[in-house]
Structure 1
Amino acid sequence: MYRIRNCVLVLINASLFGYYFLLRNTEVLPRERVHFLPSTGARKLLRLHGSLSIKNTTITQSSWDGFHLNDTFGELDATGHFKGVSALGKGGKDDHSRDIGNRKCLNSATNWNKPVTPKHRLDPNRFLIPTVINGPSNQLAGFQQSALLAILLNRTLVLPNFYEHQPAEDTFLKTVVDAGSRIDLDVLRRFMSVIPMSQAVKECNGRFDIFFNAEEEGVGPLMRYLPAIHLQSGIQGARYKKGIGLKQVEEFLRRGNTNMSLIVQETGWLMGDLIKGRKHKINFMELKSHFKSPEKCAHYLKPFRQLGLRPNDTLPYDHPRTSEQILNSPQKFIQTKKDAEVFFGAIWRNVQSPKFIRDVAKDFSQSVLGGNHFAVHWRYDKVDFLHYLCGVHYRPKIADMCNNIKRAAKPKAIARAIAVKLSESKEIFGSNPRSVYVAAPSSVSGFVEAIKTSFDNLLRSDSEHRSLGKVDMYFAKDLFEFVLRNYRPCGHTSNEHNVINDVISQVEMEIGKLSETFIWSKQSTWSQRVLFNRKLHLSNMSLVLDQNIIGLVLDTLDGGRGHRKLMRELQELESGNN
């Protein structure tokens, strides 16, 4: 009896001590531990004690969802340890001038009730409804191609569902992102006729009438995609077997099934005709006639870069059509690829990041980066990019690139290459930026930390680069802290996807666009988008130092100084002008 009583007392004392220990360790946490705490663990702490104190800010269970912290930001170095960052002000100094009550709104809402007269008014009774694929940058590329085709075909463009980045493309049900979180819809609406998906569902009576495939493919891809499109957009394109409705389609997809022939009819399942796409040496007059159809609601599957267009501003002096003609009357004057590329430039200018994204980028650039900075994009992570390019879809012609990436993926080598580029800037412009921003996937954040450490050590110890002065390096955790400190999710963004994580990548693209020099990654649509935007918005002189990161690092490793060659070319150009 006494033994049982003693055991019970021991258990009670252990429970009380455990609760006391948890109270002491969860009542107040430093900012750095909460900001990068996995969301599941943080919610457990909130349930236990009701609230967490982060310096002068209290987070409760009800307010937690407004922060949307992401587990990926917890993995910040090779050992799993994290050194927290304080609220950053200009030059990286602490800034406590803004508290949680003054945080600005990350708002992507668009007033569709407000009438707008677009420059390019399209047929209000015929629609083009794209389905975009792959990562966010590829989705935007597909959307821009869709905008061009909609104008050529005189069809009102329907804003598609955008999706969060998910490496596994065989996952049919993806997290939908509102179009206003990826595009400035007010700018787009002034440019061309567009409507939201919800309006298209009503206009089309919930079904597609005809199918355009951007690829030269048959009905197979349509069968794979249409059930998920129906579920997530409300527009049906496939007829199902008896007893299969939308509820059964959802259950089927959520179980991870990929064989759609189990739920669609064996014959006559496609609810309209299919027109296959055309690639290579496209005649744009033929393109218009090829996809010409009187049907009301056209589905456009997997647009990406099938038309092979690059945004451009210039035409040969002897070109039979002027830029003004093409920009004002594209349906009449786009007859060749050169014509299409000039108009494609106008589409790029009017498919902008949302205003709140541009505002955050400018705010961070001025407040933290000091208004003048270098930007570097390192895209090469093992989890996604290298697995896809140098693994699953490996091709002999990219063998050299894959080997070069492995050779260049050394933090010290990358740090030295960035220092060489800063020296190049100082030679040409007389001074160098005082800050560098490195954009990279969150899965390689430990690698980026190592680049920063190597860079700081190099500037302190290497006499060759000591003349650069103090140069601060920033990356995603600094931007994450800045956004969380100064902004709050609201409007559409707060309940549709992980706001902060999505905002980071978009803001990083704007930081790249605003940079004095951009060091980019080959084979990256993300980098390509930044380069095209820089070309369209900046002078040629602002682009002279832009270079791909692999080429820069290998040149540095081989003892070369690529900027010397560039300096000679500039001197020759100047002497020629004189």
Structure 2
Amino acid sequence: MTRHKNVITVGVLLIILYFGYVKLFNVMEEIEYEFDPLKELERIQQEEADEAERFLGDDQETTTFKIIYQVTPTEPEVVSDQSETLSEKLPARIASKSVCPDFAENFRKSSSAPKYNLNENRLISHFVSNGPNNQIVDFRHGLYWAIKLNITTTLPLFYEHFTVSKTNSRSNSSSILPKHRIKLDSALLSSISPEEFGRRCSNQEIAFLDATPDSANQFQQQKRMRLPKLYEFYGIDESFVTRFQPILKHKWLTKDEDYANNWPARSQNYNCTIFAHPYRSKFIKMSEEDEKLWKEIVRATPRPQYISKMAEEFIEEEMSQRFLAIHWRYDRIDFLSKGRCRKFTKTKRKRRGLLSYERACKEFYPLLSDVTPLATKILEFTTEHNFRHVFLALPPIEIRKLGNSIKEKLAEKKVFVKMEGAVKNFVLEKYPDCDYFREHTEDMLSLLEQEIVSKSTFFIRSLRSTWSSNIYFDRISHGINTTISVLDLMGIDIYAKPKPDK
């Protein structure tokens, strides 16, 4: 009996020892697992992620690590993985933002009274028309009108070129905020921010001064597409807007009182006005004093500061402080299209400005097939004036054939040409993750090229191009007179009658 009890006791003890060993083994296994280097590293990474979420916010980018197993070492090697970032493992709301230049606001109210201290009880904004460069001309004329009418103004909404908007699927891609197109110096004239304009004009009657006739299909289409965006920009209810048309539309304005006299009388009772297409509203004959005012307006409305800084960096890194800039506007798709050239070479029209379409088609269209005469003239000019660096701005369609042909011919003589491609690569290298630049590439590049050209030592411009004329007026307003036209370069007498076709 006693023997049986001993056997049972030993059996129970063995069972207890067995389960105790199993438990101890499991505990040891858990301890070993807990301090496994892989698990420890994962734990540290998670702590870093939690720390980043609490303190680093959206703008911090942190390098993560990965384990690479080696064959011989007993310990895993921890190496930096530059292809991965902690933001890729974090929730989307704390992922790092794209890196862009400092898009500083382009409007700051002057602390002192502006030179033209205008009536702040009446406000005026502008609905600008056509392509980006025409919009700048429109806005500058709008400022001119504001000064003449003694009305405080604000910045308008701008728009991408219609060719970009047509091919862009983003619903907001056609609108460009003012800070990405222009800077307004409020020390020149009384002006307020767009936000203040919207706040003060919200829920009250607004006069919409529309100088374009209903028969102008181009402007009617622009109004249908763009005006809703302008109202949304200011936070204005369209139902409060009343349309007016100015009187005596084709009368020359020569005296200050002419501007007020040509303003619709009833609209003067409105405190808020939106002026559509100021440039096309009146025939303005500027006096010598008015021309000085115009130069002041041009100087007060430069391109954005970040664009100017990028242009300076590009010139320093890619060009030379002394370089020639050429703008060739005459492309085979638009300006010198076959349809347009057929039309204007068969019909006689009164010449507008220094260059008619008829003259442009006859003189420039052949150069699209044989660039040699143009390249020769450029080379002669660079040799005479000792230029070794040339910036050539031209429509994208002409870069591959005309642009590269000129570049190759000048390179043979050790004259180096930069074009849009160099600018684009420069921007991508500086700001590869800037969302705005990706979404508005064409608009940004055009603006940046303009700023580069405006800083050139000598500028050869295209007539009948607002892209060129805006740069020309920029330079003139700052006393820079080293500018000629492509016609001058080619030695073409602009006043001579075109030779008839043989």
Selected match of 1:434 from 369, 388, 407: 388
Shifted more, 383-392 versus 504-513: the winner is: 383-392
Is 1:515 the counterpart of 2:474? The answer is no
Structure 1 counterpart of 2:261: 289
Aligned-partner Cα distance in 1 for 2:131–2:331:
14
Within a 5 Å distance, the mapping from 1:160-239 to structure 2 comes to: 160-167=156-163, 175-185=174-184, 188-205=185-202, 209-215=206-212, 225=223, 228-234=226-232
Assess if the C-alpha contact under 8 Å between 1:173 and 1:228 holds in 2. Answer: no
Mapping for residues 9-20 of structure 1, pairs under 5 Å:
none
Counterpart of 2:223 in structure 1: which amino acid? Y
1:123 Cα deviation from its structure 2 partner? 2.3
Q: Quick one: structure 1 residues 499 and 366, their matched pair in 2 at CA, closer, same or farther if it must change by over 3 Å?
A: same
Q: TM-score, normalised by structure 1?
A: 0.58
Partner deviation per Cα, 1:84-128 (whole Å, 9 max, x = no partner)? xxxxxxxxxxxxxxxxx9987252435768866433232223121
In structure 2, how many angstroms separate the alpha carbons of the residues matched to 1:183 and 1:130?
Answer: 14
Task: Please report the RMSD computed on the Cα atoms of aligned residues, expressed in angstroms.
Answer: 3.9
Answer whether contact 1:378 1:521 (CA < 8 A) is retained: yes
Structure 2 Cα separation of the partners of residues 190 and 389 of structure 1: 47
- Aligned to 2:333, which of 378, 383, 388? 383
- CA drift of 1:392 comes to 10
Q: In the alignment, does 2:406 pair up with 1:451?
A: yes
- CA distance in 2 between partners of 1:441 and 1:219 (Å): 27
TM-superposed deviation, 1:476? 0.7
Change (3 A) 1:385 1:497: farther
Does the alignment pair 1:534 with 2:475? yes
Q: CA deviation at 1:296?
A: 1.3
Name 1:300's counterpart in structure 2. 275
The equivalent of 1:152 in structure 2 is 148
Give the letter aligned to residue 163 of structure 1. Y
Hey, what's the Cα distance between the residues in 1 that align with 2:160 and 2:186? 23
Instruction: State the one-letter code of the partner of 2:228.
Output: H
Deviation track 1:2-48 (CA, whole Å, cap 9, x = no partner) reads xxxxxxxxxxxxxxxxxxxxxxxxxxxxxxxxxxxxxxxxxxxxxxx
Conserved? CA contact 2:254–2:284, under 8 Å: no
Match of residue 498, structure 1, among 412, 421, 439: 439
- 1:297-325 Cα offsets, whole Å, 9 max, x none, are 11211223555669xxxxxxxxxxxxxxx
- 2:294 paired residue number: 344
> How far apart, CA to CA, are the structure 2 residues paired with 1:111 and 1:530?
22
* Equivalenced residues, count: 383
Paired residue type of 1:346? E
Q: Counterpart of 1:275 in 2: which secondary structure?
A: coil
1:498 positional shift: 3.0
Counterpart residue number, 1:370: 320
Distance 1:452 1:404 in 2: 21
Higher relative contact order (CA 8 A, sep 6+): 1
- Mapped to 2, the partners of 1:424 and 1:485 lie a distance apart of 35
Q: Distance in 2 between matches of 1:205 and 1:388?
A: 49
For residue 451 of structure 1, what is the amino acid of its counterpart? I
Q: CA deviation at 1:354?
A: 1.0
Counterpart of 1:180 in structure 2: which amino acid? K
Match of 2:17 in 1: none
TM-fit CA distance, 1:173? 8.4
- How much has 1:270 moved relative to structure 2? 7.0
- Structure 2 residue runs of 5 or longer lacking an equivalent are 1-80, 89-96, 350-356, 494-502
1:287 maps to amino acid = Y
Structure 2 contact 106–178 (Cα < 8 Å) conserved:
no
* CA distance 1:308–1:119, change in 2 (3 Å): same
Describe the superposition over 1:459-495 as per-residue Cα deviations: whole angstroms up to 9, x where unpaired: 2xxxxxxxxxx321111111111122224676xxx45
Deviation at 1:524, TM superposition (A): 0.5
Task: Judge conservation of contact 1:210–1:272 (CA < 8 Å) in 2.
Answer: yes
Instruction: Call closer, same or farther: CA 1:108–1:270 in 2, change over 3 Å.
Output: closer
Match of 2:254, as an amino acid?
A: N
Distance 2:334 2:341 in 1: 10
Find 1:411's aligned residue among 345, 361, 371.
371
TM-score, normalised with respect to structure 2: 0.66
**Equivalent residue letter for 2:260:** K
Would you say the 8 A contact 1:379–1:521 is kept in 2? yes
CA distance in 1, matches of 2:251, 2:392: 36
Q: Which residue of 2 aligns with 1:421?
A: 381
Report the Cα offset of residue 555 of structure 1. Answer: 5.3
Distance 1:478 1:219, change over 3 A: closer
| Cα displacement (A) at 1:161 | 0.9
Looking at structure 2, the residues matched to 136 and 488 of structure 1 have their Cα atoms a distance apart, in angstroms, of 25
Query: 1:197, CA displacement in angstroms?
Result: 3.2
Larger Rg: 2
Offset at residue 381 of structure 1 (A): 2.0
Q: Hey, what's the Cα distance between the residues in 1 that align with 2:322 and 2:84?
A: 35
Q: Render the CA deviation track for 1:159-181: whole Å, top value 9, x for unaligned.
A: 11101112499999871101111
Q: 2: distance between equivalents of 1:370 and 1:449?
A: 20
**Aligned partners of 1:177 and 1:496 also within 8 Å:** no
User: For 1:451, what is the secondary structure of its paired residue?
Assistant: helix
| Structure 1 pair 372–299 and aligned structure 2 pair: CA distance change class (3 A) | same
Cα contact 2:106–2:182 (8 A) shared by 1: no
Q: Give the Å deviation of 1:279.
A: 3.7
Task: Show the counterpart of 1:142.
Answer: 138
CA gap of 1:133–1:227, structure 2 versus 1, over 3 A, is closer
Deviation track 1:347-395 (CA, whole Å, cap 9, x = no partner) reads: 0111111111111112211222121100010112233333499369856
Partner of residue 103, structure 2: 107
Please show how residues 78-117 of structure 1 align to structure 2 within 5 Å. 105-110=101-106, 117=113
Q: Output the CA distance in 1 between the equivalents of 2:341 and 2:164.
A: 14
- What is residue 274 of structure 1 aligned with on the other side? 245
- Contact 1:377/1:438, CA 8 A, preserved across alignment: yes
Which residue number corresponds to residue 348 of structure 2? 396
Contact 2:201–2:236 (CA<8 Å) still a contact in 1? no
In structure 1, stretches of 5+ residues that fail to align are 1-55, 64-100, 240-268, 311-335, 426-431, 460-469, 557-578
1:55-91 deviations in Å (ceiling 9; x for gaps): x98599x99xxxxxxxxxxxxxxxxxxxxxxxxxxxx
Contact 2:165/2:174 (<8 A) preserved: no
Identity of aligned residues (%): 23
Structure 1 residues 554, 340: closer, same or farther in 2, change over 3 A?
A: closer
